[in-house]
Amino acid sequence: MNGFTPMHEDTIAAITTPLGEAGVAVIRVSGSHAVEVADGCFKAAGKHASTLSLTPSHTVLYGHILRNERRVDEVLATVMRAPRTYTREDVVEISCHGGITATKSVLDALLAAGARLAQPGEFTKRAFLNGRIDLAQAEAVADIIHARTELALAAAEQQLQGTLSSHIGALRDELIRILAHIEAHIDFPDEDIDPDTQSELCGKIRIATQSMRKLLATSDEGQILRKGVRASILGRPNVGKSSLLNQLLGRDRAIVSPTPGTTRDTIEETANVRGIPVIFIDTAGLRESSEAIEVEGIKRSRDSALKSEVLLHVLDASEPLPPEDVMLFKEFQNRKRVFVLNKNDLPPASMPELPANCPVVRLSALTGTGIDDLKDTLKQLVWRGEISVEATEIMINSRHQEALNRAMEGAEASLVSLQLSAGLEVTAMELRIAVNAVGEIVGKTSTEDILDSIFSQFCIGK
């Protein structure tokens, strides 16, 4: 193993490409016996055929996968030896024909040869446990897989490259230096900390908390890029909600009909809006109804509105405002929303003053005029400042946010303790809380429960 000892002795295998019909599928094998396991079912072809065990690292061999002496598939086997692999263990990747049956047959042969099926995220977990990446970088792998816009992908790539880890590492190192200084004074209780040193340490703690605040300020944007923004399209029947959804998506997704009440259930689709993944939800028209199916659709519309970050309240600008819309103004008055005055291609009707502090966009869902204005308005409503690759270099997720909040509390408590001379032991205790909380972000301090929670969200094969 080139002097490298892996963290695990068992060997795992899984399909790393999506199941389904495709030209090629890949099965990954990783562990201390990965090459031996693969050799148990792989037979090289050609005049200079060799076993995988005798093959140099990062070499591809052509051959067949066998099970019970029967050919399963024609494959390419790539041998990669530790530590220059994704997991820092010996790895063999089998490229076979795509398709559920062929791929599963190759996997079954590898399992019969001694591997066990990998758990969700286990390859990346091993990469973390074996020191190839830290915990923040491991999370970035999942973010890359699930990225729905180029900016989301750029943010994940930055995290995988270690941009966030570098900032967290520097912050943690500084907190440790401050803690070491405090503990050095605790070791000599007869010597009081002099005012100049106390002031210097207080200043360093303040700088550290400022760094935490800057990181915490990225949490909203980070959540938006990772999970997207939910935007419910609300309004009375026949105001153009489904037509608006189709324009925002750039394709016909919802059925458009002049018959009121066509949409009976919510329809969800994701679109890239100025780099932001937005989940648009087309809803049933809000009105009084006695029909059971439509009543259920209206209930779901209101439920969707409660779960959405933004509401697009669509109004028919070609007709006078009916009392039903005024009631909807009041019902959703505390929600972040945009008033969409649709049917701008028709002669406008008199429109009363709309609720203040809510953006208004005039457009035609029929012709598409004004759709760009709506996208710009949505972006301004949910994102601070410019959206650019540079702006996505450091963006924390909800786990990082929770850990940084605990670190902030500890650091601020240590600052108060130090300023009031409440006892260096108390100051040191609070600083240790901050150090441990910051360390959780990159996995310097982590529990098995935290790791299980993170990696269980990965797909099998990654």
Q: Residue 384: what pLDDT?
A: 67
d(CA 379, CA 274): 7
**pLDDT bucket at 295, cuts 50 / 70 / 90:** low
Return the minimum-mean-pLDDT range out of 118-127, 413-422, 449-458. Answer: 449-458
Return the minimum-mean-pLDDT range out of 24-33, 37-46, 414-423. Answer: 414-423
pLDDT in tens, 222-247: 888 888 888 888 888 888 888 888 88
**pLDDT bucket at 5, cuts 50 / 70 / 90:** very low
Return the minimum-mean-pLDDT range out of 16-20, 224-228, 388-392, 413-417. Answer: 388-392
Backbone CA torsion sign across 378, 380, 381, 386? positive
CA-nearest of 145, 195, 3, 180 to 88 is 3
Question: Which domains are present in the chain?
Answer: 12-118 (3.30.1360.120), 137-218+395-455 (1.20.120.430), 227-382 (3.40.50.300)
Contact residues for 350 (Cβ-Cβ < 8 A; gap 6+): 320
The model carries a pTM of 0.78
Q: Residue 203: what pLDDT?
A: 94
pLDDT in tens, 59-117: 999 999 999 889 999 999 999 999 999 999 999 999 999 989 999 999 999 999 999 99
Q: Residue 192: what pLDDT?
A: 65
Task: Give the Cα-Cα-Cα angle 46, 49, 51 (nearest 5 degrees).
Answer: 145
